[in-house]
A and B are shown apart, each in its own frame.
Chain A
Amino acid sequence: MLRLALRRLAFTLPTMLAAATLVFLLIHLVPGDPVDVMLGENAQAADREALRRTLGLDRPLTVQYAAFLGGIATGDLGRSLVSGTPVAELLAARFPATAELTFAALAVAVALALPLGLAAAARPGTWLDRGSVGFALLGVSVPSFWLGPMLIILFAIHWRWLPVSGRGTWAHLVLPAFTLGFGMAAILTRMTRASVLECLSEDYVRTARAKGVGRARILTRHALRNALAPVVTILGLQFGALLAGTVITETIFAWPGLGRLLIDAINQRDYPVAQGCILLIAASFVAANALADVVNGLLDPRIGAAAARGGS
């Protein structure tokens, strides 16, 4: 299993390299001279030269690229143009808040989606089933930047049950986690329902039924386990949406994470910090996908064996 995990991890390297390359190229997409954009047209020539040197923009592109990759490898992502703090330090300070929010949202999504999807598949055509389909459609149509404020208006202002914003106690986490996890819960519910329904029509379920295995046991032990593989894959893929969604959720709830750092950096034209944020979020996404594959290998030995042979 460890070999499989390491192997899968090795497969992420080209993707990571490509992501890093794109992030590197981003600064060269800035229309005109990035130094002018950052300092304004009226800056002193000496200041502009100094910034150009700090950013390494006076060197040939290939040298810049090598230095950029070397920096990533050694954990040196440059310094903030605004505060002068090393970017790695800023990221390390903000990462725990974003991780906390993301995993809480993931927990909300799974806790809502698995029981609901399973129950819907167990009783197709009933009100519960139709309700789950409706929830799935609603969930993907409600944007988080509206759901969040609505939850604030209801739970924090009207009923005063939960804090409006900020990070601190567990109570602070509830609304942001729900806001971020809601859309994913909808997608997962739909996926779980479809996947369980498909498994229930398999031969081994008929066999189990013929053997006299109980309904609940068939659902939880036979169908659910086999149905989980596509759900876990979607979980990995949707994890990216969740991570990107933190940018919006953190903005709504003044949550001091990477997303806020990214938007503030963009607004202040603090490109090294923005690059660092994007790189870290993208890396987390790639890692989550790899993790989903490894979990799938654990769930289904056939997938594990295929991956160990070098398949995808």
Chain B
Amino acid sequence: MRASVRLVLGAVLVAVLILIAAGADLLAPYDPAAQILSENLAPPGAHHVLGQDKLGRDILARVIYGTRVSLAVGIVTVLVSLLIGTTIGAVAGFVGGWVDELAMRVVDVLLAFPGLLLAIALTGVLGPSLRNVVIALCLIGWTGFARLARGEIMRLREREFVEAARALGVPERRILLRHLVPLLATPLLVQATFGMAAAIVAEASLSFLGLGAQPPTASWGAMLNDGRAFVLVAPHLTIFPGLAIMVTVLGLNFLGDGLRDRLDVRTPTDLWR
């Protein structure tokens, strides 16, 4: 598949997912928390297209509302990580010296752990909740943006236009904020797209392990965790939320891949894997 095709396909998939998340109230056929205990584990049928879970809740409705949880976690995590990471990385790369040294040591320590392991440890001590998942993912995720921003700024600060600005008497602060930071937009956009895919997988992983979203929140990972005990008798509990995660991540990866080729940037991709 060509990059331009991936870009369009990714953009369409992501746009559809955003629409589903925004219109969940209109699209969902049932209340995602409404239980019909007498119909628990019912397979897909005419009334409940994707079947019902262990409490008789409609799986389609829960998958639809799960879009909201996944996208919200992805967006908030990436925005906070991007803001913190870019600030620290840009300042470190621009100022250099001990500031840079300190920032990079902290990044190194955090990267000494596999990302998911650190996320498990952090949510483990903070306590299981969606909010703590976001906190844990931000505590790890900023490092990727910081490394990217630092590298770019260090490369850019030697360029002639910076020297020219300095010669014209532009204050250092203004050089960083007005002349350099805007140039980070494209690589950061690509990184953010991949980062969102990674954050969504990480949230689902933690919720699958019981460390994330708590009942009755309709999170795809938590739904997979619920389905684990019934995989022998009711595989539909597992199939559909998993498909939703796959389509979402594939869409974001397509989008990131297409953007990377179109905008011609190279970035590290895996943050929370």
Contact = CB atoms under 8 A, between A and B. Distances in A.
A18 B111 CA distance: 10
Given A26-B125, A149-B224, A251-B208, 9 more contacts: A133-B1, A138-B250, A143-B204, A143-B249, A145-B204, A150-B242, A164-B232, A238-B273, A278-B113
Nearest to A251: B209
Contacts of A294: none
Interface stretch (B56-64, B115-123, B159-167): B115-123
A281 B232 contact: no
A60 to B, nearest CB: 21
A136 B217 CA distance: 32
B32 to A, nearest CB: 20
A94 B217 CA distance: 33
Contacts of B242: 143, 145-146, 149-150
Given A152-B231, A266-B124, A22 B109 contact: yes
Interface string A108-138: 0000000000000000000000100110011
Interface residues of B, number: 46
Interface in A1-36: 15, 18-19, 21-23, 26-27, 29-31
Contact of B117 (A27, A153, A243): A243
Given A149-B227, A153-B238, A143 B127 contact: no
Nearest to A184: B273
A87 to B, nearest CB: 15
27 contacts: A18-B108, A18-B112, A19-B109, A21-B109, A26-B125, A30-B125, A141-B250, A143-B205, A146-B242, A146-B245, A146-B246, A149-B224, A149-B235, A153-B231, A157-B235, A243-B114, A244-B115, A244-B273, A247-B120, A247-B209, A251-B209, A262-B120, A263-B120, A263-B209, A266-B124, A274-B121, A278-B117
Interface in A245-294: 245, 247-248, 251-252, 262-263, 266-267, 271, 274, 278, 281-282, 285-286
A152 B227 CA distance: 13
A142 interface: yes
B209 A248 contact: yes
A140 B254 CA distance: 11
Contacts of B201: 143
Contacts of B66: none
B210 interface: yes
A230 interface: no
Contacts of A271: 125
A281 B117 contact: yes
A274 B246 CA distance: 30
Contacts of A282: 112-114, 117
A27 B246 contact: no
Contact of B116 (A19, A164, A247): A247
Contact of B246 (A21, A143, A183, A285): A143
B126 interface: yes
B270 interface: yes
A241 interface: yes
Interface of B: 1, 108-110, 112-117, 120-122, 124-127, 197, 201, 204-205, 208-211, 221, 224, 227-228, 231-232, 235, 238-239, 241-243, 245-246, 249-250, 253-254, 257, 270, 273
Contact of A244 (B112, B116, B125): B116
B204 to A, nearest CB: 6
Contacts of B115: 240-241, 244
A229 to B, nearest CB: 18
Contact of A150 (B108, B209, B239, B253): B239
Nearest to A137: B253
A127 to B, nearest CB: 12
Nearest to B242: A146
A267 B123 CA distance: 11
B209 A141 contact: no
B209 A285 contact: no
Contacts of A238: 273
B5 to A, nearest CB: 11
The 9 closest A-B pairs by CB, nearest first: A146-B242, A240-B114, A244-B114, A244-B116, A266-B124, A244-B117, A141-B250, A18-B109, A141-B249
A297 to B, nearest CB: 21
A19 B109 CA distance: 6
A146 B224 CA distance: 8
